[in-house]
Amino acid sequence: MKECEQCKNTRDNPNHYNIHSMGCPYCCARTLWKLRRWAKQYPERVSAYKARAEQLIQRLPWYGLDESYVQKLSKSDAMPVQPEPKPEKSSGKR
């Protein structure tokens, strides 16, 4: 999987999670993660947050993403961010 620029920005600056790439499962999970936390923080707006989360979940197949995987990522305690790519190992051959 190609590294997501928005996940990279979020890893570098955790306060930078307001921009998401909807083709990235981690970005979609981060959006759901954020909506769930806001629903707990602002109970008077819970119906609006739930409606927005439901809209996103319905669009996941259109983005080509697996709903169960995104849901699983979004339920973690930590903010979902694509893991940093491992550096490629050189074969040592020239």
Query: What is the predicted pLDDT for the residue at 21?
Result: 82
Per-residue pLDDT tens digits of the chain, which is 94 residues long: 678 888 888 888 877 666 778 889 999 999 999 999 989 899 899 999 999 999 999 999 999 999 999 999 999 888 888 886 666 665 555 5
Task: Name the residue ranges covered by the structural domains of the chain.
Answer: 17-74
Q: Which amino acid is at 23?
A: G
Query: What's this model's pTM, rounded to 2 decimal places?
Result: 0.79
Look at residue 64 in the predicted model and tell me its pLDDT: 93
- φ, ψ for residue 20 (rounded to 5)? -135, 150
**Residue 50 confidence (pLDDT):** 92
Please state, in angstroms and rounded to a whole number, the distance separating the CA atoms of residues 6 and 55.
21
